[in-house]
Amino acid sequence: MTAIEEHEQLMKEGIEALYAKLGPSKTVRFLQLTGLCRGDSVKELESKSEKLTKKQVFKLMNESKERNRELWKKLGLNQP
């Protein structure tokens, strides 16, 4: 496992633990308080994705959904 994969796994486990203990809205608030979720996420996403094609965006979304299947399911985002 690479260092990046280990980091992603740790983040996934941490968020899942927070979600299990705090629920979705308190988890988001906690992450905002700690600075892990700060800034204008819409502007950040737009700046990072402005050069991507629609096909590339959907590919990235599907890859994220596959890697984080349980999290997507918990958040109600598992519809096709």
How confident is the model at residue 40, as a pLDDT?
62
Rg (CA), the chain: 14
Q: Tens digits of per-residue pLDDT, 28-61?
A: 888 777 766 555 666 766 676 777 788 887 887 7
Q: Is the pLDDT of residue 14 over 70?
A: yes
CA distance 55 to 31: 30
How confident is the model at residue 77, as a pLDDT?
66
**21-59 burial code (b ≥16 CB/10 A, e <16):** eeeeeebbeeeeeeeeeeeeeeeeeeeeeeeeeeeeeee
